[in-house]
Amino acid sequence: MSASVPRLVIAAPSSGSGKTTVATGLMAAFAARGLAVSPHKVGPDYIDPGYHALASGRVGRNLDAYLCGPELIGPLFSHGARGCDIAVVEGVMGMYDGAAGEGELASTAHVAKLLRAPVVLVVDASSQSRSVAALVHGFASWDPEVRVGGVILNKVASDRHEELLREALDSAGVPVLGVLRRVAQVDTPSRHLGLVPVAERHAAAVEAVAAMRAQVEAGCDLEGLLGLARSAGVVSGAAWDVAEVLAPAAEPLMDAAPPPPLPVPTLGAAPPDPRFRPEGPRPQTPPEGGPPDGLDGVRVAVAGGPAFTFSYAEHSELLAAAGAEVVVFDPLRDEQLPDGTSGLVIGGGFPEVYASELSANEPLRKAVAALAESGAPVAAECAGLLYLCRELDGQPMCGVLDASARMSERLTLGYRDAVAVSDSSLAAAGTRMRGHEFHRTVVEPGSGAAPAWGVRTPPRRVEGFVQQGVHASYLHTHWASEPGVARRFVERCRTS
């Protein structure tokens, strides 16, 4: 039963302490021992879960108490961890850092409490010795409901440094479960929005994950960590069930085939060069004979490939459960949308990095514009919004929206409380959802005649575009918080 899956939450006093190295390395080390590992990430981040998937062989999933609400953290965890031997949850920022002005909400500590999971604190020990005991004591005692079950010391300089750190921590009452030496940084390059996604550097990412695994295996007490994971309490409530949450409007589909397994990055050869485009559309791989029985021929194309890597796993699961056949395509390589496309979902990513390649694929740009002009539902978030604009940094895009996009020096980042302003293929006017913004681009104008959202958290404003079947916005949302979004989108695909 997934509620009793052993689990660890990997936290740190601050960003940059080594959470990703430890969490990803642990996932890979446990998987190498033959354990089925369920990878999770606290917060809205899309990039770390790609490395988690590479390490574990399973789709990385997010646990965000702001986007989805605290009540869904346990059920979503149990859904993702079903059938696994252990779950590793990488935290976000510092352990007690959450949504601004919302107390503990969406912090690593908050999620650890909701999961009744022990915490492993990763500490950058590079510039301290005895002071580490005060630091660990403070984090372990700040909230008595958070159980810090062990510490992993990172960037330790020498045997003598390790000895001093261990001696100091003897008085803190928190066992040392690992010591990682100060070594050349694992090759995980960053740019304007964090780590470079796995899809853009597959071969190098495989090497990076292997290096993280080697560090963890050499420096961590894997048996001690596994034992700590087994001490986790039982998660209350039933696992989130995609068919159940859609049941009121999906009863005719209950006998339909279950959602297909989601793809994960393969550990084999690197993907094809994204600059290459074949003469015609790349062959798709839908089930033989067309959509499964009961799906009424609704086919939703979902943008993927290196330019569009941001998506929550539950979105495709909800679309499939609502009655759609989900087909992934690559806007860098495919010159046509998948045959029979009824609707289009374009999530986040880095179109600004691939603007020239996306622009050069004129046949696909025209196909996207034609689909939107036909009134078919199109849901676009952030990168998808940029792709639908008239231009991006001077490069022609799809021209669905009479707006231009450009890179900016300013980072826009934060949670948002939003209300749908206009009826759309995603939501009825008045629907309230929480979202997240994360970009260094500007779209001018920022909203159309019919805006997508009214943002209630600062700065208060309207933003995004609703026109015909198009819903385009900077806001990233998590559909598990409002499953009716997927149902409404598929119904519009069926009737448009």
Please identify every residue annotated as catalytic. Answer: 382
Q: Name the β-bridge partners of 391.
A: 396, 404
Under DSSP, the state recorded for 423 is: -
C-alpha to C-alpha distance for 330 and 346, rounded to whole angstroms: 10
For the sheet with 61-63, list strands across it.
61-63, 37-42, 86-90, 7-11, 119-124, 148-156, 176-181
Provide the strand spans (E) within 206-324. 299-303
Q: Pseudo-torsion of CA 370, 374, 379, 385, nearest 10°?
A: 40
Cis before 396? omega within 30: no
- Find all residues with CB under 8 Å of 39, minimum gap 6, and list them: 27, 49, 52, 53, 55, 56, 58, 59, 60, 61, 87, 88, 90
C-alpha to C-alpha distance for 302 and 330, rounded to whole angstroms: 9
- Structural contact between residues 477 and 434, judged by C-beta atoms closer than 8 angstroms: yes
| Size of the chain in residues | 496
C-alpha to C-alpha distance for 414 and 374, rounded to whole angstroms: 34
